[in-house]
């Protein structure tokens, strides 16, 4: 079994050491409402636009998945603020 590397801090995680797998899935959702501003849409033209786009770019518009390995410290930092939102005056202690 080989060592792992923390995706955030690049620390080597030796076999048997504690580590965490972080999987993030981002996917399109649908609320049932379709907003059409222009009622004169040429569907054939729209489908031609879609056909000219690379398949991987179209797929990313609907679904994207990320997979990371985190050491215990980086897992705690990530879980404290997963969206990296401004915390105002709150500081994350270096001992976390």
pLDDT of residue 22: 98
Q: What pLDDT, in 10s, does the model give residues 19-55? A: 999 999 999 999 998 877 767 778 888 888 888 889 9
Give residue 96's pLDDT band: very low, low, confident or very high (50, 70, 90): low
Label residue 93 by pLDDT band (50, 70, 90). low
Measured between alpha carbons, how far is residue 92 from residues 39, 79, 81, 84 in Å?
51, 11, 9, 12
**Domain boundaries, given as residue ranges, for the chain:** 4-80
Give the integer Cα–Cα distance in Å for 39 and 37: 6
**Does the pTM of the predicted model rise above 0.75?**
no
- Which residue has better confidence, 90 or 47? 47
Q: What angle do CA 54, 56, 57 make, to 5 degrees?
A: 70
pLDDT at 91: 66
């Amino acid at each position: 079994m080989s060592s792992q590397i923390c995706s955030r801090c690049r620390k080597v995680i030796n076999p048997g050491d504690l580590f965490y797998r972080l999987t993030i899935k981002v996917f399109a959702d649908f609320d049932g409402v379709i907003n059409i501003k222009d009622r004169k849409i040429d569907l054939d033209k729209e489908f031609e636009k879609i056909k000219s786009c690379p398949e991987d770019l179209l797929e990313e518009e609907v679904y994207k998945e990320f997979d990371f390995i985190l050491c215990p410290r980086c897992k705690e930092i990530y879980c404290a603020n997963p969206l990296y939102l401004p915390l105002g005056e709150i500081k994350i202690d270096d001992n976390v």
